[in-house]
Amino acid sequence: MTYPALEGIGLTRRFGGFIALDSVSIALRPGEIRGLIGPNGAGKSTLMDVLSGRTGKSASGRVLLFGHDISGLPARQRRRAGLARSFQKTNIFPDLTVAAQIGLAARAAETNNAEEVIDAMELSALAGQRAADISYGDQRRVDVALALVGRPRVLLLDEPAAGLSMAESLNLALLLRDLAARWQVTVLIVEHDMEVIFSICSHLTVLHLGRILANGPPEEVRAMPEVITAYLGSSAA
């Protein structure tokens, strides 16, 4: 039996009386790149947080990684089990050099592929520089590189192209698509840039008001009237 690479079952997250995530279930096939889209406040980042263990015990539901229940594991143990993530706001170590922080991630992952990741993310020329001293676009790539170290089995990317130019976004998207295919990484990506989403995703999930509104191939989702109404707007029709 083939288990989903990552499965969330009945995931719910409340903030006081507000339900940010309302019994959401999602399953990713091994090797797929799934896009997670929805308007602001739909619950996309909350879903990423619940799946990655950022919310601790304040969320309910189950998270399974290749059939193993990781719901009770803290973030660091989920990472060691093979579930990595990047963040919506750049989340790196500003005072460390690019090489030092990727090396640190490699030690945690008990792997020696730090240089491979540095090369793959086109960071070799910046390896000796402090992360605080490099450009924003490069910092975004460092953020993703930290998640890619150790070739995780599942990668959650929360708006990796946020703040990048159109050319930088597409370049990063294609880079990620190639790496995911080469390293057999299953990817769940949140992104507002539809060009990025449509260029790399084989499947889309649409969230709206904390619930799943639609699922399917990008072309089908794009044509669904309820999705157009809720998120994409008339320009996408």
What are the residues binding other proteins (CB under 8 A)?
Answer: 52, 54, 74-76, 79-80, 84-85, 87, 91-96, 100-101, 103-105, 107-109, 146-147, 149
Q: Which is nearer to other proteins, 46 or 52 (CB)?
A: 52
3-state SS, residue 106: helix
Q: Which is nearer to other proteins, 109 or 207 (CB)?
A: 109
Q: Which is nearer to other proteins, 49 or 191 (CB)?
A: 49
Cα-based distances in Å from 160 to 17, 40, 90, 137:
30, 16, 9, 10
Residue 133: which residues within 8 A CB-CB, separation 6 or more?
Answer: none
For residue 210, give the amino acid letter.
G
Q: Which is nearer to other proteins, 37 or 45 (CB)?
A: 45
Q: Which is nearer to other proteins, 107 or 229 (CB)?
A: 107
Q: Which is nearer to other proteins, 145 or 206 (CB)?
A: 145
The distance between the two most distant Cα atoms of the chain, rounded to a whole number of Å, is: 50
Burial degree of 152 (CB within 10 A; 0-12, 13-18, 19+): buried
Q: How far is the CB of 86 from other proteins (least distance, A)?
A: 9
Residue 45: name the closest of 164, 145, 159, 137 by CA.
159
E strands, the chain, are: 6-15, 18-28, 33-37, 59-65, 68-69, 83-85, 154-158, 186-190, 203-208, 211-216
Say how far apart CA 118 and CA 52 lie, in whole Å. 23
Query: Which two structure tokens, joined as six digits, stand for 203?
Result: 């499947």
